[in-house]
Amino acid sequence: MAKKSFIGTFTLLLALGVAGAASARDLSECERNGSQAKMAASTTQERLLSAPPSQRGCPDLSADAKSAPQPAKAGQAPKAPALPADANASSIIHAENFTVLVKRPENAIPETVVLLHGSGGDETTLMSLASRIAPRAVLMGVRGRIVQDGKKRWYRRLTPTSFDQRDIHSEAAAFARFLTDAVKQKVLDLDHTVFLGYSNGANLLAALSLLHPGLIERAVLLRPMPVLDKVPDVSLSGTRFLVVAGASDTTYAPFAPALEATLKGHGAYLEARTIKAGHGLGDEDVKIVSEWLARSNAVSLN
In terms of pTM, does the model score above 0.85?
no
Instruction: Return the pLDDT at 91.
Output: 83
What average pLDDT does this structure show over 85-113? 83
Position 27 scores a pLDDT of: 42
Q: What is the pLDDT of residues 21-64, one digit of tens each?
A: 333 333 433 433 333 333 333 332 233 322 333 333 343 333 33
Vertex 216, ends 160 and 238: CA angle to 5°? Answer: 120
Whole-number Å distance between alpha carbons of 268 and 235: 8
Q: What is the pLDDT of residues 156-202, one digit of tens each?
A: 999 999 999 999 999 999 999 999 999 999 999 999 999 999 999 99
